[in-house]
C-alpha cells in the first residue's frame, strides 16, 4: 500500500503542476497520470487532489507563513506542488502520521525537484508540523 500511496502523491503533484501551467481540468490530468504510473491508489489520489483544490488558499497562506521571505509564486514550481500536498495532509487529513507525510514529500522533492527542493520542503513542512503539535 505504501508504494501505491507514493505513486498517488506523484500523480497528484504532476496534475497540480500541469494545471498551474496550462488550462486543463485537474481531473483529466490526474486520470492520465494514474494511467501512466500504474498501481496508484485512485481513491487516495482523488481525495488528495480534491482536498488541495478545496483548501488551496488556506494552504498557501500556511506555506507562506512557514517559509519566511518566500511567496508562493517565488517558490520552485515542483516544490510548491509537493508542499501543497504535504501541507494538506498535515492540516486536513489524518490517515498518515506527520513523519510519514514529511518523508514522502521530501523523497518526491528529491526525485522531481531541484538540488535544494528536499531541504526546502523539509524545512517548511517541519515548521508547519511543529506548530501543529
Quick: pLDDT tens for 37-84: 989 999 999 999 999 999 999 999 999 999 999 999 999 999 999 999
* CATH T-level fold of 2-132: N-utilizing Substance Protein B Homolog; Chain A (1.10.940)
Q: Are 70 and 64 in contact (CB under 8 A)?
A: yes
Query: Does 104 score more than 80 pLDDT?
Result: yes
How many other β-carbons are positioned within 10 Å of the β-carbon of residue 38?
10
Query: Residues 112, 79: contact at Cβ < 8 Å?
Result: no
Amino acid at each position: 500500500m505504501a508504494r501505491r500511496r507514493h505513486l498517488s502523491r506523484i500523480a497528484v503533484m504532476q496534475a497540480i503542476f500541469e494545471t498551474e501551467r496550462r488550462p486543463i481540468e485537474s481531473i483529466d490530468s490526474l486520470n492520465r497520470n494514474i494511467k501512466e504510473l500504474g498501481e496508484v491508489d485512485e481513491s487516495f489520489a482523488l481525495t488528495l487532489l480534491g482536498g488541495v483544490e478545496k483548501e488551496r488558499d488556506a494552504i498557501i497562506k500556511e506555506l507562506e507563513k512557514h517559509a519566511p521571505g518566500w511567496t508562493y509564486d517565488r517558490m520552485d514550481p515542483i516544490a510548491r506542488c509537493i508542499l501543497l500536498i504535504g501541507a494538506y495532509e498535515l492540516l486536513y487529513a489524518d490517515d498518515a502520521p506527520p513523519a510519514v507525510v514529511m518523508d514522502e514529500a521530501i523523497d518526491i522533492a528529491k526525485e522531481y525537484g531541484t538540488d535544494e527542493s528536499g531541504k526546502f520542503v523539509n524545512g517548511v513542512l517541519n515548521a508547519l508540523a511543529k506548530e501543529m503539535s
